[in-house]
């Protein structure tokens, strides 16, 4: 399921399935109509089909489509001298329309409501016009304290990475989130409620960032991670803005911890593909940061974050401090640099609904820093919900970027960016 599929093939298969499932009887004959009497179908925040068998087993399937249509423009600061260390970036101006996170989602349960499944197919215009099976898992809810899940999904590591990109405060996530966060992997998860208002999630999986990698392309060591989330007052709700308009103060506090070994003695002088995903503060890939020893082929990485957020009467604020430590470096020469690389970052963002569930304004500051320098982000923007529904949102923001070490096409940010990024986005889910 890691392989990428051509968009046309997937669309044709999906269209054929929907045509067969929902075509009227006068097209496919009376047999189709008689076979549909034991289930119901319709629309409820997604197209659904529900069936109940005589033995009490049930089946439910819901499908959703979401997407983000975006225009972005980057205006570089021409007064900035070229970097001392070469990276992929040339800090040039750019302007483009883009489709981000064009996704097809399937969710539901089989046999029993506590046996659930989820599949998410993703495509975008900066992904070579292909579709990818982004998430896929099956979960069994044992009780309110324990749900077991197997499949592929996000590795816990940074709080806002765990939130849906549907519910970001500005057009996309803060720079420190995308710089420090892990990725997706295949593994085993356990989550649930410890006591009232205190929830946990733990997991063990193949690696820190192993999206679309075959089994021979990541290390022997596993990634292990966990997070806790405490909401001591009112129910916090979805996302970070106060779309719900809380009449009582809602507070959320959390921590996450992630560890992964990126080393693999089987590979010798060949570096793991996932090693290339981590960078130094100056934007250089860590794999290339110690030229005197040869290419870095592996390392251990630990990420810790602590976060806090509140919502009250349309006001909201959230922030997070993130620490990443990288050690036990292995190189092509066989020599290990005796260095531990500590990197830090934080973001603070807040906003206010000027018109409840319609219009909000937001602002953000963030910083990433370490032994090789610092990077900054200053942003402001607004969101408009034309139908007072989260699923349709028009967003605009402007961001001042300074020496960004991040390469992330999903956010329209390139490593080395030093200038102003302007984005406008229409987001839909149905």
DSSP for 225-272, written as a single string: EEEEEE--SS---SSSS-TT--SS-EEEEEEEEEEEE---GGGTTPPP
Both structure tokens of 77: 């600061």
Instruction: State the Cα–Cα distance between residues 365 and 400, nearest whole angstrom.
Output: 10
Supply the pLDDT for residue 53. Answer: 73
pLDDT tens string 254-297: 999 999 987 755 444 455 555 667 888 988 888 787 877 777 87
pLDDT at residue 317 is higher than 60? yes
pLDDT at residue 242 is higher than 70? yes
Give 10 or 398, the one with higher predicted confidence. 398
Both structure tokens of 195: 């006591």
Which residues partner with 47 through β-bridges? 43, 63
How would residue 25 be classed by pLDDT, with cut points 50, 70 and 90? very low
How would residue 410 be classed by pLDDT, with cut points 50, 70 and 90? confident
**Stretch among 24-28, 106-110, 209-213 having the lowest mean pLDDT:** 24-28
- Other Cβ atoms less than 10 A from the Cβ of 259: the count is 18
| Mean pLDDT, residues 190-216 | 86
How would residue 14 be classed by pLDDT, with cut points 50, 70 and 90? very low
Instruction: State the Cα–Cα distance between residues 3 and 136, nearest whole angstrom.
Output: 13
How would residue 57 be classed by pLDDT, with cut points 50, 70 and 90? confident
- For the chain, give the mean pLDDT: 84
Look at residues 70, 58, 61 and name the one whose alpha carbon lies nearest to residue 21. 61
How would residue 3 be classed by pLDDT, with cut points 50, 70 and 90? very low
Q: What is the 3-state secondary structure (H, E, C) of 276-332?
A: HHCECCCCCEHHHCCHHHCCEEEEEEEEEEEEEEEEECCEEEEEEEEEEEEEEEEEC
How would residue 22 be classed by pLDDT, with cut points 50, 70 and 90? very low
Q: For the whole model, what pTM was predicted? A: 0.84
| C-alpha count within 13 angstroms, C-beta hemisphere, residue 329 | 24
Supply the pLDDT for residue 293. Answer: 77
- Other Cβ atoms less than 10 A from the Cβ of 183: the count is 18
| Mean pLDDT, residues 53-69 | 87
pLDDT at residue 332 is higher than 50? yes
Residue 64's contacts (CB-CB under 8 Å, 6 or more residues apart) are: 45, 46, 47, 104, 105, 107, 429, 430
Which residues partner with 74 through β-bridges? 94, 421
Supply the pLDDT for residue 271. Answer: 52
Residue 215's contacts (CB-CB under 8 Å, 6 or more residues apart) are: 206
pLDDT at residue 384 is higher than 50? yes
pLDDT at residue 64 is higher than 90? yes
């Amino acid at each position: 399921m890691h392989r990428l599929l051509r968009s046309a093939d997937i669309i044709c298969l999906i269209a054929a399935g929907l045509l067969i499932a929902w075509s009227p009887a006068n097209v496919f004959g009376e047999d189709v109509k008689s076979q549909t009497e034991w289930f119901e179908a319709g629309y409820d925040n997604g197209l659904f089909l529900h069936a109940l068998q005589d033995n009490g087993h049930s089946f439910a399937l819901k499908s959703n489509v979401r997407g983000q249509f975006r225009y972005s423009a980057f205006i570089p600061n021409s007064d900035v001298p070229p970097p001392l260390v070469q990276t992929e970036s040339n800090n040039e101006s750019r302007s483009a329309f883009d489709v981000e996170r064009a996704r097809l989602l399937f969710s539901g349960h089989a046999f029993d409501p506590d046996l659930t499944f989820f599949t998410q197919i993703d495509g975008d215009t900066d992904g070579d016009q292909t579709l990818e099976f982004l998430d896929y898992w099956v979960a069994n809810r044992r009780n309110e304290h324990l749900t077991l899940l197997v499949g592929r999904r996000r590795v816990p590591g940074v709080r806002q990475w765990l939130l849906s990109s549907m519910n970001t405060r500005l057009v996309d996530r803060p720079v420190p989130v995308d710089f420090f966060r892990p990725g997706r992997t295949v593994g085993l998860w356990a989550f649930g409620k410890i006591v009232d208002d205190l929830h946990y999630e733990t997991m063990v999986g193949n690696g820190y960032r192993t999206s679309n990698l075959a089994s021979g392309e990541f290390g022997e060591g596993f990634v292990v991670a966990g997070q806790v989330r405490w909401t001591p007052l009112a129910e916090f709700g979805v996302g970070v803005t106060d779309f719900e308009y809380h009449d009582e103060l809602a507070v959320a506090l959390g921590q996450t911890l992630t560890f992964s070994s990126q080393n693999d003695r089987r590979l010798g002088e060949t570096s793991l593909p996932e090693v290339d995903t981590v960078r130094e503060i100056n934007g250089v890939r860590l794999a290339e940061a110690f030229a005197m020893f040869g290419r870095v082929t592996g390392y251990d990485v630990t990420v810790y974050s602590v976060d806090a957020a509140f919502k009250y009467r349309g006001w909201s604020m959230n922030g997070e401090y993130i620490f990443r430590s990288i050690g036990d470096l292995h190189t092509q020469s066989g020599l290990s640099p005796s260095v531990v690389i500590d990197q830090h970052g934080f973001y603070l963002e807040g906003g206010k609904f000027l018109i409840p569930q319609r219009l909000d304004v937001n602002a953000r500051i963030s910083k990433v820093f370490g032994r090789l320098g610092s990077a900054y982000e200053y942003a402001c923007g607004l969101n408009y919900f034309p139908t007072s529904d989260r699923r349709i949102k028009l967003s605009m923001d402007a961001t001042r970027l300074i020496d960004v070490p991040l390469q992330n096409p999903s956010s329209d940010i390139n490593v080395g960016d030093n200038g102003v990024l302007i984005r406008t986005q229409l987001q839909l889910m149905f």
